[in-house]
């Protein structure tokens, strides 16, 4: 009789070796919302936008916008480097927005830094003439630099300059005699000098005939202590009205400058902030009155002087209106810094010329004869 197979002897179905093994679960890949270049792009973008707004909104309305002009020259390179970083990292879509902002704001940045692209290729004509502006810092009468040696060097430098129109600021009451004692001749060629009637102020020297001139301060109650010497000068292109201006300064004393260089305390910072915003409000009002006087001029206008403000400020944006253009457009390369202070490359002196005039050359001189550098522009009639 055949044995029944026991339960132990029952064969179990073989496991299917061909069965597919369960594939491991793929981890969720999270898309990075930001990249390292954002550390440059976002701050640069924010400062750039604030700077553009500050140049168009009066600090008399929004005082905290005023200092934005001081950092505009840093904001643009910051954004540019961040954008190039993204492009070289093949993040092209993320580069489109910042790149568009850079292109749109390039005309503004060209007032801060020149790469020579706007320099006109024109022939200098026989009717060209020079305008120079220079804050001479009272001819170093308090020996901030080298005293007598500074005055002698300044007299020598002036004697080497071409004839034309010279606009001085902080020119002392006895400045003519002081420069004569230092060796400068006012006679060959004959230069007429027009000075501020009291103490130090704007002065104008011209080898061209001066038909009329006057001096004034700004009438608005909050317009501070800015000063203007206005003169109608017979130049090779005809009569032009020159506004030699010294706009409101920051009124910093030695302690304030030390605080800027060493880092201010909370109390010092509050004081500096107040001085900056108050001066910006005053310059905004001064610029508005100057624009009104420029528009009333029957002659082409030239505005030269110590503006005490950056190219991307409300005051300078207002002065660069429909009537005048910044001659810095004809500069060759660099920021054209004119103030020898704590902020390198700061351009607060300059020349604006009527739109009917062509600037063929803009030069910031490298001499150190004051805490400002002189600036010269060669102008002629547009053809």
Query: Residue 8: its pLDDT value, please?
Result: 47
CB 156 within 8 A of CB 183: yes
Tokens 């001659």, residue located? 327
Query: Residue 23: its pLDDT value, please?
Result: 57
Which residues of the chain are modeled with pLDDT < 50? Answer: 7-11, 15-19
d(CA 213, CA 173): 17
CB 217 within 8 A of CB 176: no
d(CA 308, CA 298): 27
CA distances from 349 to 36, 308, 346 (A): 38, 7, 9
Which tens digits make up the pLDDT trace of 208-235? 999 999 999 998 767 778 999 999 999 9
Query: Residue 32: its pLDDT value, please?
Result: 56
Long-range contacts, 63-71 (Cβ 8 Å, 24+): 63/277, 63/280, 63/281, 64/277, 66/276, 66/277, 66/280, 66/281, 66/313, 66/314, 67/273, 67/276, 67/277, 67/280, 68/312, 69/309, 69/310, 69/311, 69/312, 69/313, 70/310, 70/343, 70/346, 71/47
Global pTM?
0.88
């Amino acid at each position: 009789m055949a044995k029944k197979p026991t339960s132990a002897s029952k064969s179990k179905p073989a496991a299917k070796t061909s069965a597919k093994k369960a594939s491991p679960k793929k981890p969720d890949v999270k898309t990075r919302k930001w990249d390292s270049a954002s550390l440059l792009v976002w701050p640069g973008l924010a400062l750039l936008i604030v700077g553009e707004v500050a140049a168009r909104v009066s600090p008399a309305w929004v005082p905290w916008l005023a200092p934005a002009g001081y950092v505009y020259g840093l904001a643009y390179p910051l954004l540019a480097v961040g954008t190039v970083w993204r492009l070289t990292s093949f993040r092209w879509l993320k580069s489109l927005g910042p790149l568009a902002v850079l292109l749109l704001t390039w005309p503004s940045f060209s007032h801060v830094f020149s790469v020579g692209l706007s320099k006109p290729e024109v022939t200098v004509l026989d009717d060209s003439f020079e305008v120079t502006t220079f804050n001479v810092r009272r001819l170093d009468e308090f020996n901030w630099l080298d005293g007598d040696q500074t005055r002698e060097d300044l007299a020598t430098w002036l004697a080497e300059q071409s004839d034309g129109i010279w606009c001085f600021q902080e020119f002392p009451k006895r400045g003519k005699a002081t420069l004569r004692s230092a060796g400068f001749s006012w006679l060959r060629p004959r230069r007429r000098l027009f000075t501020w009637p009291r103490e130090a102020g704007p002065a104008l020297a011209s080898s061209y005939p001066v038909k009329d001139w006057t001096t004034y301060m700004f009438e608005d109650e909050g317009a501070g202590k800015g000063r203007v010497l206005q003169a109608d000068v017979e130049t090779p292109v005809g009569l032009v009205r020159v506004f030699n201006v010294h706009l409101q300064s920051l009124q910093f004393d030695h302690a304030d400058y030390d605080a800027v260089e060493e880092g201010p305390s909370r109390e010092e910072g509050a004081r500096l902030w107040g001085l900056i915003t108050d001066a910006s409000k005053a310059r905004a009002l001064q610029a508005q009155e100057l624009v009104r006087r420029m528009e009333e001029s029957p002659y082409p206008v030239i505005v030269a002087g110590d503006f005490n403000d950056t190219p991307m400020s409300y005051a300078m944006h207002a002065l660069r209106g429909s009537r005048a253009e910044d001659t810095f457009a004809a500069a060759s390369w660099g920021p054209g810094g004119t103030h020898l202070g704590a902020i390198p490359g700061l351009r607060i002196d300059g020349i604006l010329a009527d739109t009917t005039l062509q600037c063929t050359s803009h030069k910031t001189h490298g001499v150190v004869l004051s805490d400002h550098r002189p600036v010269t522009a060669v102008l002629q009639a547009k053809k």
